Structure 1
Amino acid sequence: MPFTWPLDPQDLFVERYPQMTLGLPADEVDAVRAAVTEMWPDRPGGWVYEWSALAARHAAAGRHRSAAQAYGWAKFPSLADESKRTALARQVEQYVLASPDFPVEFERRTLTVAHRGGETTLPIHLMAAPDLPADAPVVLAGGGVDSWKTDLHGMWEQLALTLPARLLLFDLAGTGESAHLPMTPDGGAEVIDGLIAFARTIGNGRVGHFGISMGGHYSARTGLTGAVDASVVLGGPVRHSFARGRGFAFGMDGIVGNALGFDAMPTTAERDRALAAFDLRPLLDRDTNGPMLVINGADDVHVPQSDTLIFQGRRDTRVHLVPDTGHCAISRFDEAMALITPWLEATLAT
């Protein structure tokens, strides 16, 4: 069972405000910020209550896309209790209602893939520019442990409109609509292998993988193994992020603990044991990688620079640290995407 943990909601506003105001007006975010006084209780002053109230106002006015954004913050940062899971269900409902007005082709479907000796199902979203040919490449794209496929819609929409490829959007195991699966190195990678196999059947056979934050851990895996034809790692933890005794900031210890499948806050020793298995040193020691672009903000508080710079000097690999910005270069995201989009286009065309 998921768990809650002590967390000051104002700390989340400090870190996530730039991300919140990408999808919602600053005055609305400011009003919720002023109203929120506690994290978990579903009552006035509670995080999920105040964000859901904003979302409900947008939904009642027919502003379904804004409602989906606000419900996305209501369920943030983890599906740790029933009110958070309800907010996720309402986010998906509002997102689907908004989809006919998207300026891109959009399809929501459920796939069945192999998982740990059996099968599992998970919802995916397919997104493409309206005039994209059927024989275009496909790019798997996903976020991290607390920002999921629906939360990042604005980013995916812009990428779909500029990149001549179809996007296949999904939630990592242990997160979002894949939260029924624990996040493990092997199980999470196996699900992605199934998505890659599907992606090769719906386009021209060329497949890329664009992972953000923990999603970048898994795109580093597919890049290092050569499982895809192009891999973008944006803010991905790959080695030193999983070092023994490393601390977490802004509530990330509870977020990660939930994604890993713990039913209470893990001890440091329990967390270290679970995370040690994610160290990609065995893959980094091999020379099997496909083309990779590894990028992050230079001032990331979650992922050390060494997890980006460790890729320097590798064959077919480009490495870039964006100065004066933090995790996933979020405050200078346009600069990061100005590198990522043309690289993906050129690499998947060769």
Structure 2
Amino acid sequence: MSYQWTLEAYELFGERYAQMVGTGLPAADVDAVRSAITEMWSDAPGSWVHEWSRLAASYATAGEHQLAALAYGWAKFPTLADEPKRAALHQQLAQYLLAAPGFGVHFQRDVLTLPYRGGVVEVPVHTFAAPDLPANAPVIIASGGVDTWKMDLHGILVGFAVQLPARIVAFDIAGTGESTVPMTADGGAEIVRRLIDHARALGNGVVVHVGISMGGYFSARSGLAGEVDAAVVLGGPIEKTFTESGLSRFGMAGIVGNALGFDQQPSTEDLTARLATFSLRPLLDQDGNTPMLVINGADDVHVPQADTLVFEGRRDTVVHLLPDTGHCAVTKLDEVVPVILAWLGVQLAGAGSQS
């Protein structure tokens, strides 16, 4: 189920340009695509998917498979609302797998069959590990959000694998990417719990959950519930996002509506009612959390500051709200990533000493 909605390409470039070039695409190429795109949804010269796919194909022809995967990632952005977007995701995966021998770490793609709502669901995962990582190492499960998925986070994931004594298992949250089920609060959390079980069997039993954006919602949920040994929440919506106007800009209501499984643009009332089920207030009112690191930018247009500051004063919790940056502190990742790595290093060492 999916639908298109009114969305201006120039607004997306305004919001995401730093992310586009920050993940490794040459600025000159991004600028050229930006100049060529005039509208979002058709598959013709001047459309988002066409122009990004043309750039990606040029990279592929030149044997630059990782750049091709990044560009196809933007071609399918922000959601799989039509067949051209789905085709772009298929091409992204093909190019990503061609690039894999050059990742510099051990890489493995698996499609897990996990229990889900009385049946099963298939969940593709990408596992990264340093070449010399022992078999009994801890595991970090990691995901992005509603529009930035596991292949789009490649640089961060490989950095974790290189710099941390842990195996990284990347996945797409329910309703996004290669997921085949819509995003719901309980269903998405069930998939995460099944992934945690899988991860505990991979190494020494220690599992840490790292979530970015909506993925941070699910890492906050597993951390607050004590289901993992530690959790990192980067730009995660928690409660206020689901009751305030955090979805009003840059097409986020349409992106989330697609993730939730609507097959046509929902009314504000229907979308609000569905989102209300995601509030983590019941878990916030308890005291069962494991160690947590919560970070976001103070100028986030999607997630209110309250959804970060609500963690201040909690036991075993570190909170950073960075000034002069927005959602997931994306323009200050050079500051944020070292903080996350240092915190994870301490948590992994502590958990390992207790196992």
TM-score by length of 2: 0.97
- Report the Cα distance in structure 1 between the residues aligned to 2:251 and 2:155, rounded to whole angstroms: 25
Q: Deviations over 1:130-177 (max 9, x none)?
A: 111111100000000000000110111112111111100000000000
Describe the shift of the 1:7–1:225 C-alpha distance in structure 2 as closer, same or farther (beyond 3 A). Answer: same
Describe the shift of the 1:247–1:99 C-alpha distance in structure 2 as closer, same or farther (beyond 3 A). Answer: closer
After TM superposition, list the pairs within 5 Å mapping 1:95-174 onto structure 2. 95-174=96-175
8 A Cα contact 2:246 2:304, kept in partner: no
- Report the Cα distance in structure 1 between the residues aligned to 2:40 and 2:294, rounded to whole angstroms: 34
Q: CA RMSD in A?
A: 0.9
- Report the Cα distance in structure 2 between the residues aligned to 1:85 and 1:158, rounded to whole angstroms: 28
8 A Cα contact 2:79 2:258, kept in partner: yes
- Report the Cα distance in structure 2 between the residues aligned to 1:112 and 1:348, rounded to whole angstroms: 28
Q: Does 1:258 align with 2:258?
A: yes
Which SS does the other structure have where 1:253 is aligned?
helix
Q: Which residue of 1 aligns with 2:14?
A: 14
The amino acid of 1:150's aligned partner reads M
Describe the shift of the 1:282–1:7 C-alpha distance in structure 2 as closer, same or farther (beyond 3 A). Answer: same
TM-superposed deviation, 1:298: 1.0
- Report the Cα distance in structure 2 between the residues aligned to 1:328 and 1:222, rounded to whole angstroms: 19
8 A Cα contact 1:245 1:268, kept in partner: no
TM-superposed deviation, 1:115: 1.3
Q: Which residue of 1 aligns with 2:326?
A: 326
- Report the Cα distance in structure 2 between the residues aligned to 1:156 and 1:2, rounded to whole angstroms: 29
Greater CA drift, 251-260 or 156-165: 156-165
The amino acid of 1:271's aligned partner reads L
Which SS does the other structure have where 1:19 is aligned?
helix
8 A Cα contact 1:244 1:272, kept in partner: no
- Report the Cα distance in structure 1 between the residues aligned to 2:201 and 2:190, rounded to whole angstroms: 18
8 A Cα contact 1:244 1:276, kept in partner: no
Q: Which residue of 1 aligns with 2:233?
A: 233
Describe the shift of the 1:17–1:244 C-alpha distance in structure 2 as closer, same or farther (beyond 3 A). Answer: closer
Which SS does the other structure have where 2:151 is aligned?
coil
8 A Cα contact 1:293 1:317, kept in partner: yes
- Report the Cα distance in structure 1 between the residues aligned to 2:117 and 2:311, rounded to whole angstroms: 30
8 A Cα contact 2:246 2:303, kept in partner: no
- Report the Cα distance in structure 2 between the residues aligned to 1:246 and 1:32, rounded to whole angstroms: 28
Q: Deviations over 1:108-127 (max 9, x none)?
A: 01101111111001110000
Q: Deviations over 1:48-76 (max 9, x none)?
A: 00000000011111111110000000000
Which SS does the other structure have where 2:152 is aligned?
coil
Gaps of 5+ in 1: none
Which SS does the other structure have where 2:289 is aligned?
coil
TM-superposed deviation, 1:322: 1.3
TM-superposed deviation, 1:245: 5.7
Q: Which runs of 4+ in 1 moved over 2 A?
A: 244-247
Q: Deviations over 1:64-111 (max 9, x none)?
A: 111000000000000000000000000000000000111111000110
- Report the Cα distance in structure 2 between the residues aligned to 1:346 and 1:204, rounded to whole angstroms: 16
The amino acid of 2:73's aligned partner reads G
Which SS does the other structure have where 1:108 is aligned?
strand
Which SS does the other structure have where 1:89 is aligned?
helix
- Report the Cα distance in structure 1 between the residues aligned to 2:286 and 2:334, rounded to whole angstroms: 33
Q: Does 1:184 align with 2:184?
A: yes
Q: Which residue of 1 aligns with 2:353?
A: none
The amino acid of 1:199's aligned partner reads A
Q: Deviations over 1:27-54 (max 9, x none)?
A: 0000000000010000000000000000
The amino acid of 1:251's aligned partner reads G
Gaps of 5+ in 2: 351-355
Q: Percent identity?
A: 61
Q: Which residue of 1 aligns with 2:207?
A: 207
Q: Does 1:27 align with 2:28?
A: yes
After TM superposition, list the pairs within 5 Å mapping 1:276-291 onto structure 2. 276-291=276-291
The amino acid of 1:295's aligned partner reads I
- Report the Cα distance in structure 2 between the residues aligned to 1:175 and 1:247, rounded to whole angstroms: 17
Greater CA drift, 334-343 or 135-144: 334-343
Describe the shift of the 1:245–1:77 C-alpha distance in structure 2 as closer, same or farther (beyond 3 A). Answer: closer
TM-superposed deviation, 1:244: 5.3
8 A Cα contact 2:4 2:41, kept in partner: yes
The amino acid of 1:11's aligned partner reads E
8 A Cα contact 1:245 1:272, kept in partner: no
TM-superposed deviation, 1:246: 5.2
The amino acid of 1:283's aligned partner reads L
